[in-house]
Chains A and B, each alone.
Chain A
Amino acid sequence: MSNLRRRWAVCVVALVLLSWHGAVPAAAFPDLHGHWARQDIDRLAAAGLIDGMPEGLYQPEGRLTRAQFAKLMVVALGLGPELPAVSGLSPFVDVPRTDWSAPYVTLARDTGLFSGYGDGTFQPHRLVTRAEIAAVLVRALNWDTRGFALGPYADRDAIGGWAVPYLAVATARGLMGGYPGNLLRPNRPATRAEAAVFLTRLQRERGALYELSGEVVVAGAEGIAVRSGGSVLNLAWAPGASAYRNGSPAAYTSLVPGDELLGIIDAQGRLAFAEAHFADAYGRVTVISPGERRVTVVGPPDATWRLAAGSPVFRNGRPASLEELRPGDRAYLLLAYHHPGWARLLDAIQVDLEGSISEFSPADGRMTVRTPAGDTRQVMVPANARLYHLGAPIGRNFLRVGMQIVAALTEGGTEVIYLEARD
């Protein structure tokens, strides 16, 4: 594994330097370009939960019939493998046994998502309303409707009595939002885009949005290596896979090592959808409590972060423990985007000396540094000191007069432990 890592180290440098550019893959459906629900729809399409219309479009502003919505739900709940077992059956008088929707409607009714109407009909061609969707989602999640009161929506009188408890819990738990003007529009047929958003929220509640979570090790046009659960997975991109970075469509190669990655793996074991996030923080350490793994950093932003168990910690370029940190250290943190308040890597530098090299003797390592205040300091750079130049490890012979440096020194302040240099 470590061999592999070293190889990537090389790769990564190359990638970071060279390949920030690449083609952004097209949306799963051409009519979604720039649409507000594009990411949700792409994600559902990657998970195989939605199809487009026959022309290859999604028609986000189109409406859904009850039968179409039943199909969406059956597929989303993983009941697809049951479909052949109910082909040719229909529990409702107005759903012909031979209709494409019959098996979906049958399974939706078996699962208790829909119960149909008192007269034995399903009304498959009626457009599904927001209230109906709320009821179905709440049933799918087995949520208890007791103990929730419906908010004071302006149009609450328009809500059918049967739907009130469902809408109450759906709005209270964030499954459904209102419209401007304090409107819920319960009887409005949902658009296909809205349906995709509701479905996304359903899957989110079921914890079934992404299978893969990890960190990008290296991303290429053909595939991606992801560190997940202590091992590294090498996955090929599925045809037409979509990638997002920090909320925007992104090229496969624009995913950066260290990015947090959430993904959907398709049935063939390929990556069908990737959502990368990158967030970091930078500042000076003020308070450390190693027992709780908490570190307070003066910003931007000023904040206290908690370091997740097992996360790497470095001080002065070397693996370290939190106990070794000192107030005043310069800290860089990789943050856990999906878990506010958590960090997943901490890099600390004890900044004892800043300035530019005014003299340096490669033979014995003697170095004179001129600080911004105009003072000069003489220090030794031992052969085993950890030195970096623009992020790349260097030997002390590489140091040149005029380089800007930041350095950590030994206790007596005479020797360099760690040094960063730039030109």
Chain B
Amino acid sequence: MRRVTRLLWCLLIPLCLAVHGNGPAQGSVPAAGATVAAVPESLAPVTASVSMSLSVDAIAAAGLLGEAITGEGVIIAIVDTGVDPALPDLALTSDWQTKVIDWADFSGEGRVDTTLAATAFRGAIKTPYGTFIVGTKIRSTSGRYRYGLLREEYLAPGPLNQDMNGNGLSGDEFPVLLVDSLVAGVYDTVYVDINRNHDFTDDRSMGVYRRTFNVNWFGKPGAPSSVAYVVADIGEGGHYVDIGFDGNGHGTHVAGIAAASGGFRGSINGIAPGARIMAIKALDSAGNGSWQDIARAMRYAARQGAHIISLSVAALSDVSAAGSEESRLINELTETYGCLVVLAAGNNGPGVATVATPGSPVVALTVGGYMSPEMWLKYQGHTAVAASLWPSSAVGPRADGAGTPAVLAPAAAVSVVPRWLSADGTAYYEGTSMAVPFAAGAAALLLDAAHRKGLPVTPGTLNRALRAGAVPLPGYTSLEQGHGLINVTNAWAALQAGVAAVGLNATLPEAWTLGRAGIYARGQQPGYAEYQVEVRRGGVYTVTSTVPWLKPAVTHLTLQPGVPRRLGVAFTGLTEPGLHVGQITLDSPDWPGVEAELSATVIVPHKLDRPVSVSGQLLPGTYQRHFFRVLPGAEELIAQLAVGKNAGGDPTGRVRMRLYRPDGQELLRSDYTGLSSGVTVSRQLVSVPAPGVWEVLVEVPAEAADLGAERSAYVLDVGVAGLRFDMVEWTPVFEGGEAKAQLRITNGATGRILRVVASGLGAADQHDLPELAYLAPGLHFSRTLPEVPAGTSRLRVAVANPSSPGVDLDLYLYRYDPLTRDLEPAGTSANAGLSQEAIELDSPQPGQYVVYVEAAGLWTDTTFEYSFAAYADKGHLQLTEAARQLRPGETWVLSLKAKQPAGAGPRFGKLLFIDTETDLVVATLPVAADAAGVPLMVNLWEAGLGPAPGGQRLLTLTVRDPVRLSLVDAVLEVNGVHYQATGGRLTLRAGPALEVWARHPDYASAYRRFLLPADLGGPPVPGLETPERETILRRLVHQLSEWDLMKR
């Protein structure tokens, strides 16, 4: 065992580093959509020029192109994996200027260290790598010849297979020579010993690309296996050389879509053949890069004068909030340099909230993927599929509620790629990566047209014109398609009509928890919220809502530039389960069209207190979303999808389902059922589903049309098994430092003996959402746990729910022993054939732990859920009963008691329900309490009135600082509906019973119950004079003190 742990330790270190470098781990940024889709073999291949004309038609760019608008004079920066500098399609613009005007590398992949230097002696230099001939022609003015090695093994694994010269080996090293040819110390000329003959005199002298446009090849110039390269940069003082090349193909493909020009021995025209390209490499050959590299690349591009930045990367950040570093950069580049940033929506759709792109939703242009009927037919061979979203295009809203994407563009294209990648120099790629350069090219056309017309254009107006001109697709919400498919003709019309960018900035207050850039309620019920709205261009804006359930509090907003105003919105009548998307629009008569939209997304889930059955019918290439609320205690989520059948029992359609977690991440998807699948029912099980609102998306593939299924009918049954609690979370209401409650637990699973253990109340929240981890064949997964502190009562690590069916996950836990400086086994859960494993330690030794996960028999990539929790019982929670045997269906009423923790601020805890047989936690109930701070003061304004018709009436609540009595803008949860107080006040329609929680980050939460008395219609209150009144009152004062004592 000792040997094994050593081995593991060795393995772990590079993995920890990989988190920040490459590999599809946290923090890295993969290219969005180098998806090479499976194209039916029978299908005639689509040429690049046919492909491009399909797309030109789709986005109606032909009109402008016909008027000889080509994007001339516009610079598009392709921030990607680099651009092949030697392709004829990317050599010149349509007006015969150099196409690629700059080549820079921020990925560091092609960096050659040239700090070492030698002097020449008899036409040769001596280096640790051997002696190299420099001859007499290669002259260093200073006499110091700098040199280094480009090592193939340092390149990222990718389509190039770390093989620059196409010799089938990935361990070659290429000597690089750097000289100062003119001025001593100013290094300007590079030689790469391509044929590795230790002689630089037969190699081409290369200057930095942006000054010389020199291009060379690893291998025979122009040969199919040769990789073209440039000198992207030479470090100051000659300490390094950046060799620039596209080792992936993604960047070249994208550049081709945006701006290829086939006039010069080429084959295709991109959308803007007249535009120039800045090739900015920020992703390595594997398609990965870091945000830091991308940020430097974008800043460079903007400073060097790019008009448009095309950035086709996915998952730029986990936290895509408008205030993030990424967002600030994009806003800054737009404002300071006048640069339009075009971003990919991402390829992990179409679940709700799968989009994660940075930037103010107004400033950046986020593009989703589109497929036209012709694209379905030509690329995939599917007939009769309506214009649709590209199936995996990511869908809004963003986690902060912002309404993205902005527009759609074609998500599939045959475009140019390096010759070493494809014999004919073209390839078919799908993804929102492809949609980005279509949009960027369209923007270039508009810029060119505007310049020629003398129309002043800013990135904002360009962005707005593309949105205003977009054509919405029927059957999709704005979360999926934004304004719709880009239409260049319409956008040009909008630009000419004077469409304005008013620079809207809309935010929701910090205390409001359902979205900060837009309203996003996933299962919660919003009642009233207030945007803070600010514009750059003042005016009188008409405020309207696109849906009846969302009502603005004003009809107009009169706005001055830069002066924020509040815009209240009320929600009413949202009870129908499903996805509800609405927008508040701002429209000024000063400019054509609507100027701004504010997004609101409300998801009303089905309750799963009993199994739910839903059914539907879908056209090919479409889907239907269903939402279900999973409560804590659920041990299994079961979804069963049955396809519709005819009278003979044969399926009449083809469907599958995809399960998305409450955070919008896809966890599992079923195989297709129905036609040509051999089955009619599929089932998915999620073990220990995270509490929250899950999306089950039922989709019908485009190929259903080919199989003759005009409509595919389905029945979806969803249920949960496990414990059922009668509360979602226990929020103790403290009186005199103590709180009591009763928890009803119903056993919705097999009989067993359950033990309950309390944990908390601590300051750190125990999140219920497991990490979605990734495992590929031959690899393992490992995590170093956060330091397990002394006093930890229970440590739990678990894995479950692999996306690839039948994967046998095994889980190992090691503890780092500081004495032996070695990893010692701390637990193993490696049941043969099981994909769900957990290790739990009672009172674990404090210290550093490492988790290690491997999968037996893994033949394809898989995701799985990994969770970790360290519980510490601080003694605040007390239970009357610690264990109970529960038969199936039996109910246990457990009395809970909590002592209020000292201090101030929120406190969290958990009740752990442990199956005594396995000694594993089967369910947890979260506890959220406030420490003994002074709670907010909540008052219900006494109307002094009888009730209104229907038992509800307008009521006003006030929230005050408990000491100073000043008014506080808290968020109020009244009978489960979220409201925002303004000026400390809220007027709402409610009654007769109100349960109010008031929350604000600066205060302890307050809970109050109000009961409005019903109108009894009794006699008028008499103005009676009782002779004994004074005596009675005096006595009552005495008796009341006793009444209070008794109530204590």
A residues near B (Cβ < 8 Å) are 1-2, 5-6, 8-9, 12-13, 16, 78, 80-82, 84-86, 88-89, 91, 106, 109-112, 141, 204-213, 228-229, 246, 256-258, 262, 265, 267-269, 279-282, 300-301, 303-306, 308-309, 312, 314, 317-319, 332, 335-342, 345, 347, 388, 390-393, 420, 422
Contacts and interface: CB of A to CB of B under 8 A. Distances in A.
A207 B1018 contact: no
A299 B321 CA distance: 68
Given A303-B1018, A303-B1019, A390-B1031, A204 B565 contact: no
A422 B1034 CA distance: 13
Nearest to B1016: A341
A304 B1016 CA distance: 10
Given A206-B956, A309-B1011, A347-B1039, 7 more contacts: A208-B956, A210-B942, A211-B956, A319-B1042, A319-B1043, A390-B1031, A393-B1038
B942 A213 contact: yes
Contact of A207 (B954, B1029, B1030, B1035): B954
A89 B1032 CA distance: 62
B918 interface: no
Interface stretch (B107-115, B236-244, B553-561): B553-561
A306 B956 CA distance: 26
B764 interface: no
Interface string B947-966: 00000011110101000111
A213 B966 CA distance: 18
Contact of A88 (B560, B941, B953, B960): B560
Given A347-B1036, A391-B1030, A340 B945 contact: no
B554 A112 contact: yes
Contacts, number: 210
Given A106-B558, A208-B956, A281 B1024 contact: yes
A248 B571 CA distance: 42
A208 B987 contact: yes
Nearest to A317: B1039
B733 to A, nearest CB: 12
Given A82-B565, A279-B1022, A332 B556 contact: no
A345 B1036 CA distance: 10
Given A281-B1024, A341-B1016, A319 B555 contact: no
> Which of B540, B565, B941 has the most chain A CB within a 10 Å cutoff?
B941
A338 B942 contact: yes
Contacts of A422: 1031
B646 interface: no
A341 B1017 contact: yes
Contacts of B982: 78, 81
B1048 A211 contact: no
Interface string B973-1000: 0000000001101010000000000000
Contacts of A16: 1030, 1033-1034
Interface in B995-1018: 1008, 1011, 1013, 1015-1018
* B contact face: mostly helix, strand, loop, or mixed: mixed
Given A319-B1042, A319-B1043, A338-B942, A267 B967 contact: yes
Contacts of B958: 211
A257 B1033 contact: yes
A133 to B, nearest CB: 19
Nearest to A266: B965
Contacts of B1038: 9, 388, 391-393
Nearest to A1: B1044
Contacts of A258: 1033, 1036-1037
Contact of B1017 (A91, A210, A340, A391): A340
Contacts of B1044: 1-2, 5
B292 to A, nearest CB: 39
Given A269-B964, A309-B1011, A339-B1015, A318 B942 contact: no
Contacts of A228: 939
Contacts of B1032: 332, 347, 391
A12 B987 contact: no
B128 interface: no
A81 B1033 CA distance: 45
B1033 A256 contact: yes
A388 B1035 contact: yes
B903 interface: no
Nearest to B947: A339
12 contacts: A2-B1048, A16-B1034, A88-B560, A210-B942, A211-B958, A213-B942, A257-B1033, A282-B1029, A312-B1043, A341-B1016, A341-B1019, A347-B1032
A130 to B, nearest CB: 23
B647 interface: no
Given A112-B554, A391-B1035, A340 B1021 contact: yes
Given A91-B540, A340-B1016, A110 B555 contact: yes
Contact of A340 (B940, B954, B1018): B1018
A1 B1038 CA distance: 14
Nearest to A141: B954
B1046 interface: yes
Contacts of A332: 1026, 1032
Q: How large is the interface on B (under 10, 10 to 19, 20 to 34, 35 or more residues)?
A: 35 or more
A143 B1041 CA distance: 46
B543 to A, nearest CB: 8
A12 B1037 contact: yes
Contact of B941 (A85, A111, A210, A256): A210
A335 B1021 contact: yes
A211 B939 contact: yes
Contacts of A339: 946, 1013, 1015-1016
B566 A209 contact: no
Top 4 A-B pairs, shortest CB-CB distance: A341-B1018, A269-B965, A341-B1016, A391-B1034
A205 B557 CA distance: 26
Contacts of B1045: 2
Contacts of B1037: 8-9, 12-13, 257-258
A262 to B, nearest CB: 6
B943 A204 contact: yes
A212 B957 CA distance: 10
Contacts of B944: 204, 209-210, 262, 338
B1026 to A, nearest CB: 5
B564 interface: yes
A391 B1016 CA distance: 32
A206 B987 contact: yes
A154 to B, nearest CB: 29
> Which of A1, A309, A391 has the most chain B CB within a 10 Å cutoff?
A391
Contact of A282 (B566, B940, B1024): B1024
B10 interface: no
B1011 A340 contact: no
A178 B554 CA distance: 31
B1040 interface: yes
Given A269-B965, A308-B1013, A337 B1021 contact: yes
Nearest to B1013: A339
B1023 interface: yes
B954 A306 contact: no
Contacts of B985: 78, 208
A82 B1041 contact: no
Given A89-B558, A341-B1015, A82 B566 contact: yes
A347 B1035 CA distance: 10
Nearest to A349: B1032
A319 B1036 CA distance: 11
Contacts of B1043: 312, 314, 319
Nearest to B985: A78
Contacts of B946: 339-340
Given A306-B1016, A340-B1015, A9 B1041 contact: yes
Nearest to A269: B965
Interface in B214-234: none
A110 B939 CA distance: 29
B954 A205 contact: yes
Contacts of A282: 1024, 1026, 1028-1029
